[in-house]
Amino acid sequence: MSAYDYRLGALPGHSRLLRTFADRIGALPRATRTLLVVAAAEGTGDLAVTASAASTLGASVSDLEPAERKELIGVDGGRFAFRHPLVRAAAYRSAPVGDRIAAHRALADALPCVGNVDRRAWHLAAATTEPDEHVAAALEETAEHARERGGYAAVAAAYERAAQLSPADGHRARRLALAASAAADAGQHERAAELALLVAPHLTDPAVLARLAQARAALAREQGRYDTSSSVLLDAAAEIAPHAPGTAAFMAYEAMAAAWHSGQRESIDGIGARLAGLGLKAPPDSGPYLPAAEGLARLAAGDPAAGLPPLRALFETLRTEHHGQRHTLRERVSIASWFAPLGEVRTGNDLVAELERECREQGALGLLPLVLLLRTRTRILLGRHGCALPGADEGLRIAEDTGQPHYARQLRGALAHLAALDGDEERCRDLAGRGGDPRQVLPGQEWGALAVGLLELGNGRYEAALRVYEDVAASPSGRTIAVLYGVPDRVEAAVRTGQAASVRELAADFDAWARHAGAAWARALAARCRALLAPDPAAGAAYEEALALHADDGRPFERARTELLFGEWLRRAGRRSEARTPLRSALDTFELLAAAPWAERTRAELRATGESRARRGGGLAPLEHLTPQERQVVRLAATGMTNRDIGAQLFLSPRTVGYHLYNAYPKLGVASRGELAGLDFRDEREEAA
């Protein structure tokens, strides 16, 4: 495919219409056909540049008249436009190859040098039929301009074409590797894999070898192949360690991170042994990366006191880094993900929000599903369930479209969690994909399985909940961060079924992690576990400690759960009037969060104290009537953004944006876009946070 064809795009399903337009163009005078192929190659509608280029090929503006009479093209002032996209395609593709090459070369000569470097480079590339380092270097410069503007697909296209035109093997390999890396970030995973396979044996530059290895490792992770990801990274780290120890140390950290996310202790131990063989020096040569890798190994071994500090030091680099001065976008996403074991939910939410903005600006579709997954988790942890849903829904759509099954499974798990909170049992189980042997939990599916556990817990089916947690713990995914976060739920299910002894050691490990992480919300949940496991006389103090910590943790759902448990404990102790205060507070929160099963349980418990509370009345907030994607679209439309701008932000076509608005208007009771600005789009579930 030529550079121009890449930009023009494929036009499947239109071959008959394309031939019809080609026949009409073929009947035009020679000069008119020449001018049309130049106009099609020019691509922006600039009449002055087109006329200047066409004049060197024996055509002039007056030669457009036959095409205008045939209604193939229209001219307005200094601009022209083809009447249909297929007219432009037919004008270009029906022309002989020699005419196309001549058109591109004439355009490159006609374009003013100032402000047109990239356009000239593409036209030169389209006019070049054999290796030419001058043109290849110009396209490489264009690729870097595209990176600065944001647009990984354009970066990948420019580097790939530059590689095709490179006479020297070294330059060709380097440019192909950079094309593969950019294609991976753009979500073009099949193309990235093809380019990586093509170039891997020919690389010698350590920096480029590292970039390619990181891209290949990312592709493996997105498929859930963590062992492959770690192996690719460690092999490359060993090769470049003598030349670029800092880069090798970062790749060693990434290899350990992949193993840690897999939950496979054997893999973590194996990587630890290989790290020792790399011969990497301690900081400052290795930066914070080698200690972070060793910290992950210690954390996996159950030693948070030794594991968390070096991981926190790495995480802190993102606070001080300005606009990616030290790390690439992909690397910053990797580092930001450690908010979970560090308990840094609020900071993590802020960092991930910034990364989401950058992904959208730069067209990093390959990274966006993971970023939206992280954003969904921080929002769920912060109790912002209403705004978590659209992001998770969008992330799942993009993950499926770009072939990232691992992140798709995790995003389904996040959506299943939200369905469990709402009490939507059918949707929760469907998203979680529970079926067959429960111990065969694929990487990423543990999040969905734990959502089913939360569903069972919310409905008071404690034995079923405990079975889910035990199944996940026994699965290959039983040591992931998801399981750590599920410990308080498992403790509650075990205590409710009279199996407290089975979770005491687990609760103690969670308590140790919470103390060393230091986050108020983690310490609150650890105190709740202690309350559940304590003899009755000591439980009250532990519940009060938990609630005091919840006051500052910003997690309303978990605070309400602790209030419910405390209220139950007080009632059983015969302190019915005291029980009403935490139960009322819990019920208010559950109703605001639309956590239906939990609200019903709390309402029943409140009745047992002698106080009745009717279900909360009132209509739904405006956003509650909309699908997740409709919510995103109307929020942006209410700010005054056009359909095209909204589409660029959400990776949708303007027509799809219009379709969502058309469906949303009657649900919101409005007749036009202008009325959206007068609606209150705040979500009560967000306000509860």
pLDDT above 70: residue 620: no
Query: What sign has the CA pseudo-torsion 677, 679, 682, 685?
Result: negative
pLDDT given for residue 443 in this prediction: 65
Confidence of residue 440 (pLDDT cuts 50, 70, 90): low
Residues 6+ apart with CB under 8 A from 128: 135, 165
CA distance 187 to 155: 12
621 versus 578: the higher-pLDDT residue is 578
pLDDT given for residue 531 in this prediction: 97
Closest listed residue to residue 631, CA positions, set 353, 418, 390, 373:
390
Q: What is the largest CA-CA distance in the chain?
A: 100
Instruction: For Cα atoms 279, 281, 287, give the angle at the middle one, nearest 5 degrees.
Output: 130
DSSP labels, 107-162: HHHHS-STT-HHHHHHHHHHT--S--HHHHHHHHHHHHHHHHHS-HHHHHHHHHHH
- Indicate yes or no: pTM above 0.85: no
Q: Give CA torsion, residues 374, 388, 517, 442, to 10 deg.
A: -50
Confidence of residue 327 (pLDDT cuts 50, 70, 90): confident
Specify the CATH number of the domain 622-687: 1.10.10.10
Domain boundaries, the chain: 622-687
pLDDT above 50: residue 7: no
Specify whether the CB–CB gap between 409 and 429 falls below 8 A.
no
CA distance 271 to 264: 11
For residue 160, what are its two tokens? 């790939």
**pLDDT tens profile 462-483:** 999 999 999 888 877 767 788 8
Residues 6+ apart with CB under 8 A from 494: 466, 500, 502, 503
Of the chain, the percentage scoring pLDDT greater than 70 comes to: 91
**pLDDT tens profile 171-183:** 998 899 999 988 8
pLDDT given for residue 226 in this prediction: 85
pLDDT given for residue 150 in this prediction: 67
Phi, psi of 174 (to 5 degrees): -60, -45
pLDDT given for residue 330 in this prediction: 87
CA distance 1 to 15: 18
| Lowest-pLDDT choice from 19-33, 177-191, 623-637 | 623-637
